[in-house]
Amino acid sequence: MIARSAAAVRERLDHPVIDADGHVIEFVPAAMDHLRELAGSGAVDTLWELFRSGSSLLRGQSIEARRRTGLARMTWWAYPAQNTLDRATGMLPALLHRRLDEMGIDFAVLYPTAGGVGQTLDDAELRQAVCRAFNRYYAEEYGPYRDRLTVAALIPMYDPAEAIRELDYAVGELGFKSALLSGYVARPLPGENSHRWARWLDNFVLDSPYDYDPFWQRMVELGVVPVFHPVGMGWGGRVSVTSYVFNHIGNFAAGNDNICRALFLSGVLGRFPSLRFAFLEGGVGWACSLYAELIGHWEKRNRDRIGSYDPSRIDRRRVEELFRRHGSSRFQRHLGEIEPALRVLADPDEDPTALDEFASCKIQRPEDIRHLFDEHFHFGCEADDPLAGAAFDRARNPLGARLRAVLGSDIGHWDVPEMSGILAEAWELVETKRLSERDFREFAFANTVHLYTGANPEFFRGTAVESAAARERDAGG
């Protein structure tokens, strides 16, 4: 139950509230005008058919047929409906801008919804045209409200060249300040007749067939933050043909965990020390787990410790002696086969150049892992997320870490039935002692300033939070 109004919460605060993750509900016919200009009516017809076909394909097939064709149940009834005002607010930039005070939000970073389909299209020409068309739409419709609203540009990531082209256009021509990346590309396995499920996830950094470093370098040069909002539905354990809820639960956490692990282990953070990343809508529970597990794995498998698992260091005579003394009668009959048994999951002939799997990270001690998380990673939590407090729990996070959770409203989508209740719902974390007021300040304001001004010190110039953000930036928050 919401305990107080947005206005009542605002009376308690001495800082602005920045929404790090709201959503645009696109008025698709207007976006289609831009696609028609770029790629013609055929592209418009194709995209309309894609939007129409999702649910209808499922309705027309039996469960067995859905399994054969690999059709998982994806998003349906995605927006508020009974609350007509909120539905329209998600579509109308002027109305959203007008209602921000009612919501208790000073500034909002918004992300695409329908436009995101452009990042997933295998057809390169259509993919690039759709991303550019929607970017033009966002710039045209939301540009007049940049004092309190900014939308992230859609960046197609199938190869670094196309990513750089659209990034340059979005920032240089359209004036975008942030960028939405897909988190992975589902690439088909080799073979002409590869089944649609026979794909692997290219996360752009670890084991990718492409070198994405020029793209990350361009992000640094342009002062843009890479933000991930990856969907984990349709792969792994989220491929139910009947239940969207089954597929949806935990899917953003899974997608974010995938790209975050890859960024860390690939050494991108060391090669581009000024880059800061955001992983949205998946909460922070997965990040606390990843942080702890990276420390645990490094402590036992770093370059100085990995040798203790080298099978060549086993004292074979000692093993045989112990088997003779303690082995059962069945074990005694197989004493001559100890060597092949010792080689199971323990091949002594591993490539010596691949033994240090943390080599790219340049980690010397566990505190380096804490520093990398603190400096580079930011984790979007929704207002109703009871686990948001885990980010700030020094007692449970190894080395007393406070992970940088940021407040994301998710306004525009079905899980926000009342836009006006977002801030009060988030404040319940304070009322229930999951967050302190200091934690809430970081959650709703300071961590988002850290995210964006680390890449672009002037990110908030000309906005309603310019002065407060500048003070926070200069204070080193």
Cα 433 to chain centroid distance, Å, stands at 27
Distance, CA of 406 to CA of 387 (rounded, Å): 12
Structural domains in the chain?
12-54+66-300+376-474 (3.20.20.140), 311-347 (no CATH)
Distance, CA of 142 to CA of 439 (rounded, Å): 31
Residues 292-318 have a mean pLDDT of 95
Residue 240 pLDDT more than 80? yes
For residue 138, which of 121, 122, 114 has the smallest C-alpha distance?
Answer: 114
State the pLDDT confidence band at 470, using cuts at 50, 70 and 90: very high
pLDDT tens-digit profile of 72-115? Answer: 888 888 888 899 999 999 999 999 999 999 999 999 999 999 99
221 phi/psi in degrees, rounded to 5: -60, -35
Q: b or e along 52-87 (b: 16 or more beta carbons within 10 Å of the residue's beta carbon)? A: eeeeeebeeeeeeebeeeebbbbbeebbbeeeeebe
pLDDT of residue 2: 47
Residues 200-209 have a mean pLDDT of 93
372 phi/psi in degrees, rounded to 5: -65, -40
- List C-alpha distances in Å: 341 to 319, 320, 337, 338, 351: 11, 12, 7, 5, 21
Whether residue 135 contacts residue 172, with contact meaning beta carbons closer than 8 Å, is answered with no
Q: Where are the beta strands (DSSP E) in 247-376?
A: 277-279
Residues 194-202 have a mean pLDDT of 75
pLDDT of residue 112: 96
Q: Lowest mean pLDDT: which of 2-16, 39-53, 457-471?
A: 2-16
Host H or E run for residue 469: helix 466-474
Q: How many Å from the N-terminal Cα to the C-terminal Cα in the chain?
A: 32
Q: Lowest mean pLDDT: which of 295-309, 405-419, 455-469?
A: 405-419
pLDDT of residue 301: 96
Q: If 0-12 CB within 10 Å is exposed, 13-18 middle and 19+ buried, where does residue 188 land?
A: middle
Whether residue 151 contacts residue 111, with contact meaning beta carbons closer than 8 Å, is answered with yes
Host H or E run for residue 326: helix 316-326
Residue 297 pLDDT more than 80? yes
Going by the DSSP 8-state scheme, the letter that residue 446 receives in this structure is I
Distance, CA of 81 to CA of 413 (rounded, Å): 10
> 421: which residues sit within 8 A by CB, 6+ positions away?
2, 6
Strand partners, 150: 109
Residues 135-143 have a mean pLDDT of 98
Q: Lowest mean pLDDT: which of 28-42, 238-252, 370-384, 442-456?
A: 238-252
pTM beyond 0.85, yes or no: yes
- Looking at residue 386, its amino acid is P
pLDDT tens-digit profile of 141-184? Answer: 999 999 999 999 999 999 999 999 999 999 999 999 999 999 99
Residue 439 pLDDT more than 50? yes
- Looking at residue 33, its amino acid is D
- List C-alpha distances in Å: 405 to 12, 147, 269, 429: 21, 24, 19, 13
pLDDT of residue 1: 42
Q: Lowest mean pLDDT: which of 185-189, 208-212, 448-452?
A: 185-189
